[in-house]
DNA sequence: CAGTGGTCTAGACCACCAG
DNA sequence: TGGTGGTCTAGACCACTGC
């Protein structure tokens, strides 16, 4: 009782998940339609729909009109990463956050950045480099290009006070974009700034952010040695 | 019309997203309750609920009973990674997939693995090492411990025919677990197997998988040089 | 064309929890 | 303790698409 009545959509979800797990319904197999399930469970079709939709979002079912609902043949693991503002991430570990601006200048970006951001070769962007520190130790090096022309209110920002990263997340919250995760060997300036030996393996996140069809910013975040990004499935 | 009537939950979602983006509703601010929004939009409360729930799932709104709905103060970026079966991932790039089993033996695992899997120091697990190749070149090195005792049907499996990874995903599809992403320097056996120079930075995914409260498997997947994991937000 | 999932409605009851 | 979101219902219409 309590939380979920006997006909709560979550209890249906659990029940159906169990049928999949127990292999009562095999991968690729068609399951009963919503109307039939509703009468089997003695509930409204909308409730069945809610449960099946949830399972489909999690990747366990494939649903198609007319074709019906099938157990996913090759389940794709979906890992949801929660990428917090760096300051928050550090503060949540009870460490002291600080931030140092390294560079802030207007330049024509190199070819690869222009390509990613679909910017022509005349337009200058703001190059911002900064270091985020946890308890005074380098945490992540931020190397970013910002399309200032596309952002109203940017002139209000003092980059010595607040990171470009944080300002953008809070002020341009509704954006799309891509992220890639990879590993690189530290070298030169990067090794220096992060205070690691040359060749140290570092975890890197790269993001290009779009506001509708306008590229807002392209950032490379290079984490200090030993950083791990975690998620639960 | 067509897809979304004037009162579709998606059109409401777009409208409300727009109010957030335009900063008509500021971060941290309380927005009208569902009943009021329903009468404003001239639709049923359930429709408003669907739209607000969707925005909350995306991290744009914080909802609490009695307290109402607020625009998220510090939006957390959510990136959903779709982690496919490795064979699929390679085949989708139109490359030829192959697989080589390196090791398969029963051992008592080292301390760190026992701790992660909550296994006592008497129990043997199956250590499986294998290499996945794309067009004959090393793609990812799989270093895995399998709790065979917890898996029915495992004896049916010939590891020379199918990777442990793939078998587990298809046969034990409904599991929970954690994943971590990091970077390491190649060395010794690993460098050898992946055919990279010592010290090369490599991207690593580590997973521990649970079926209810029983650890099923603990795997380290070390990707070849230059691998990038991508996601869109 | 007809079966299936997708969605909307109007109304209802309830769980939660801030004040 | 009252206001708010969470959910369920019964019914309806519709969009999509496999046959």
Contacting residues for B99 by C-beta, under 8 A, at least 6 apart = B87, B130, B131, B132, B133, B162, B163
Q: A183 CA to chain B: closest CA distance, Å? A: 5
> How do the pLDDT tens digits run along chain A, 233 residues long?
333 456 799 999 999 999 998 889 998 999 999 999 999 999 999 999 999 999 999 889 999 999 999 999 877 777 888 877 889 889 888 999 999 999 999 999 999 999 999 998 889 999 999 999 999 999 999 999 999 888 877 877 787 778 888 888 777 766 778 899 999 999 999 999 999 999 999 999 999 988 878 899 999 999 999 999 988 77
Which chain A residues are Cβ-neighbours of B20 within 8 angstroms? 173-174
DSSP string covering chain B: -TTS-TT-HHHHHHHHHHHHHTTSS-TTPEEPPHHHHHHHHTS-HHHHHHHHHHHHHTTSEEEETTTEEEE-SSPPEEEEEEE--HHHHHHTTT--EEEEEEEEEEEPPPHHHHHHHT--TT--EEEEEEEEEETTEEEEEEEEEE-GGG-TTGGG--TTTS-HHHHHHHHS-S-EEEEEEEEEE--HHHHHHHT--TT-EEEEEEEEEEETTEEEEEEEEEEPTT--EEEE-
A69: Cβ under 7 Å from strand D?
no
Q: What is the pLDDT of residue A133?
A: 96
The answer to whether strand D lies under 7 Å from the CB of residue B46 is yes
Contacts of B227 in chain A (CB under 8 A): 182-183
Strands (E), chain A: 30-31, 61-64, 68-71, 77-83, 97-107, 125-134, 137-146, 176-185, 201-211, 214-223, 229-232
pLDDT value of residue B2: 33
Residue A2's nearest nucleotide, by CA–C1', is C15
Within an 8 Å CB–CB cutoff, is residue B82 touching chain A?
Answer: yes
Nearest nt by C1' to B68 Cα: D4
Give the protein-side footprint of strand C (Cβ within 7 Å). A 1-3, 33-35, 45-46, 49, 52-53, 56, 63-69; B 4-5, 7-11, 42-47, 50, 64-67
For residue B143, the model assigns a pLDDT of 95
CA of A35 to C1' of D12 (A): 14
Q: Is A45 on the interface with B (CB under 8 A)?
A: no
Asked if B232 reaches chain A (Cβ–Cβ under 8 Å), the answer is: yes
Contact A77 B80 (CB under 8 A): no
Angstrom distance (rounded) from CA A93 to CA A163: 19
Q: Give the separation between CA B233 and CA B223, rounded to whole angstroms.
A: 23
Residues A185, B201: C-beta atoms closer than 8 Å: yes
Chain A CB contacts of B152 below 8 Å: none
Interface of B with A in 143-172 (CB under 8 A): 169-170
CB nearest to A201's CB, from B76, B185, B231:
B185
Per-residue flag: A44 CB under 7 A of strand D = yes
Q: How many Å separate Cα A172 from the centre of its chain? A: 15
Contact B190, B183 (CB under 8 A): no
The conformation of residue A95, written as its DSSP 8-state character, comes to -
Please give chain B's pLDDT, 233 residues, in tens.
Answer: 333 456 799 999 999 999 998 889 998 999 999 999 999 999 999 999 999 999 999 889 999 999 999 999 877 777 888 877 889 889 888 999 999 999 999 999 999 999 999 998 889 999 999 999 999 999 999 999 999 888 877 877 787 778 888 888 777 766 778 899 999 999 999 999 999 999 999 999 999 988 878 899 999 999 999 999 988 77
Whether residue B83 and residue A79 make contact (CB cut-off 8 A), yes or no, is: yes
Reduced to 3 states (helix: H, G, I; strand: E, B; else coil), residue A183 is strand
User: How far apart are alpha carbons A227 and A219 in whole angstroms?
Assistant: 18
Q: Within 13 Å of residue B131, how many CA atoms lie on the same side as its CB?
A: 17
In this complex, which residue's CA is closest to the C1' atom of nucleotide D17? A66
Q: Is B65 exposed, middle or buried (0-12, 13-18, 19+ CB in 10 A)?
A: exposed
Asked if the Cβ of residue B25 lies within 7 A of any atom of strand D, the reply is: no
Q: Would you say B143 and B222 are in contact if contact means Cβ atoms under 8 Å apart?
A: yes
Chain A, nearest residue to B210 by Cα: A233
As a whole number of angstroms, the distance between CA B147 and CA B164 comes to 12
Residues of B in contact with A169 (CB under 8 A): 74-75, 77
Q: Which nucleotides of C are covered by protein (CB under 7 A)?
A: 2-12, 15-19
Count Cβ–Cβ pairs < 8 Å, chain A vs chain B.
161
> Which pTM does this prediction carry?
0.85
Nearest-angstrom CA–CA distance, A220 and A200: 17
> CA-CA-CA-CA torsion for A55, A61, A64, A65, nearest 10 degrees?
-50
What is the pLDDT at residue A173?
66
Distance (Å, whole) CA A101 – CA B215 = 45
CA of B33: nucleotide with nearest C1': D4
The runs of H, that is alpha helices, within A101-150 are 111-117
Residues in chain B: 233
Task: Indicate the helix (H) or strand (E) that contains A169.
Answer: helix A164-171
Query: Contact B174/A200, CB-based, under 8 Å?
Result: no
Nearest to B184 by CA among B147, B133, B143: B143
**Which residues are CB-contacts of B20 (< 8 A; sequence separation ≥ 6)?**
A173, A174, B60, B71
CA nearest to A79 within chain B: B81
Q: Of B75, B213, B204, B66, nearest to A183 (Cα)?
A: B204
Q: Say what the pLDDT of residue B139 is.
A: 96
Cα B227 to Cα A169, B46, B189, B220, distances in angstroms: 27, 45, 19, 15
Rg (CA), chain B: 24
pLDDT of the residue at A174: 65
């Amino acid at each position: 009782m309590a939380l979920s009545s006997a006909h709560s959509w979550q209890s249906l979800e659990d029940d159906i998940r169990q049928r999949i797990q127990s292999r009562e319904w095999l991968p690729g197999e068609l399951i009963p339609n919503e109307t039939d399930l509703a009468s089997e469970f003695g509930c409204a079709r909308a409730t069945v729909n809610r449960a099946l939709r949830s399972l489909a979002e999690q990747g366990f079912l494939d649903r198609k009109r007319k074709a019906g609902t099938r157990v996913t043949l090759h389940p794709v693991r979906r890992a949801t990463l929660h990428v917090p503002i760096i300051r928050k991430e550090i503060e949540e570990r009870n460490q002291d956050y600080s931030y140092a601006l390294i560079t802030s200048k207007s330049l024509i970006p190199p070819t690869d950045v222009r390509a990613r951001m679909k910017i022509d070769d005349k337009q200058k962007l703001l190059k911002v480099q900064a270091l985020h520190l946890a308890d005074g130790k380098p945490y992540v090096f931020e190397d970013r290009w910002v399309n200032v022309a596309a952002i109203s209110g940017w002139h209000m920002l003092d980059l010595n006070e607040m990171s470009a990263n944080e300002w953008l997340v809070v002020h341009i919250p509704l954006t799309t974009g891509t992220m890639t995760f990879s590993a690189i060997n530290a070298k030169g300036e990067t090794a220096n700034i992060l205070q690691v030996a040359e060749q140290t393996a570092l975890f890197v996140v790269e993001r290009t952010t779009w506001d509708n069809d306008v590229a807002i910013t392209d950032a490379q975040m290079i984490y200090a040695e030993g950083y791990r990004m975690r998620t639960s499935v």
